[in-house]
Amino acid sequence: MKILFTKNIDPSVISKELGEHIAVDCIEVIRTSHLTVRSFDLKDHSLIFTSANGVHSFFKNGFTPNEDFTAKNYNKIYCVGEKTKRALRKYGFGTFKVLKNADTLSRFLIGHCQHENFLHFCGNLAISVLDRELPLQNIKYKKVTVYNTEELNPLIPEKYHAAVFFSPSGVRSFAKNNSLENMKLFSIGETTSSELKKYTSKEIFTSEENNLISIFSLIKKFLHAS
pLDDT tens-place string over residues 2-23: 999 999 999 899 999 999 889 9
pLDDT value at residue 128: 80
Cα separation, 25 vs 45, whole angstroms: 43
Q: Do domains 2-29+152-225 and 33-149 have the same CATH topology?
A: yes
Residues 22/162, Cβ–Cβ less than 8 Å:
no
3-state SS of the chain: helix, strand, coil percent to 5? 35, 25, 40
pLDDT value at residue 72: 77
pLDDT value at residue 126: 84
pLDDT value at residue 69: 76
pLDDT value at residue 178: 97
Residue 26 has pLDDT above 90, yes or no: yes
Question: What confidence tier does 226 reach under pLDDT thresholds 50, 70, 90?
Answer: confident
Residues 158/182, Cβ–Cβ less than 8 Å:
no
Q: State the pTM of this model.
A: 0.89
pLDDT value at residue 137: 93
* In the chain, % of residues over pLDDT 70: 100
pLDDT tens-place string over residues 131-177: 999 999 999 999 999 999 999 999 999 999 999 999 999 999 999 99
We find that the CATH architecture of domain 33-149 is 3-Layer(aba) Sandwich (3.40)
- Parse the chain into domains and list their residue ranges: 2-29+152-225, 33-149
pLDDT value at residue 31: 96
Cα separation, 109 vs 64, whole angstroms: 23
CATH number, domain 2-29+152-225, options 3.30.365.10, 3.40.50.10090, 3.40.30.10, 3.40.50.170: 3.40.50.10090
Residue 223 has pLDDT above 90, yes or no: no
pLDDT tens-place string over residues 37-53: 999 999 999 999 999 99
pLDDT value at residue 58: 98
Give phi and psi for 74, each to the nearest 5. Answer: -70, 155
Cα separation, 47 vs 73, whole angstroms: 12
pLDDT value at residue 67: 79
Exposure pattern of 40-69 as b/e (b: 16+ CB <10 Å)?
A: eebeebbbbbbbbbbbbbbbebebebebee
pLDDT value at residue 39: 95
